[in-house]
Amino acid sequence: RLRFSGKLSVKPLGSPRPLVVIQTRTRNGKHWQAVGTAIRVQPSGAYSVVYDGGRNVIGGTFSFRTVANATSLFSTAISPIRRKAVR
């Protein structure tokens, strides 16, 4: 299982609180695809997603990012791209 967590640093968050989506690059590296479903951030802006990628993820290296789509209070937010190996 993979755990993605972070904190959306937007104030005020508004009501309802924003949704975030974790994305990884496709195998050819040209596009981004969602991992699981969108989740609503906590009142503090924190979020955490656990994704069961099965045996496919073991030994792989993945690039991922978090995206929060625009609301009436802020424009689309995209995190820095991170790259991690799964052991």
Residues 23-57: pLDDT tens digits? 988 878 889 999 888 999 999 999 988 877 777 77
Q: Are 64 and 81 in contact (CB under 8 A)?
A: yes
Q: pLDDT of 67-84, one tens digit each?
A: 988 877 778 878 888 887
Residues facing 56 on adjacent strands: none
Kindly state the percentage of the chain with pLDDT values over 70.
Answer: 99
Give how far Cα 44 sits from Cα of 12, 26, 39, 41, 57, Å.
10, 31, 14, 8, 30
Distance CA 81, CA 63 (A): 6
Residues 75 and 34: beta-carbon distance below 8 Å: no
Separation CA 48–CA 86 (nearest Å): 18
55: Cβ contacts below 8 Å, ≥ 6 apart: none
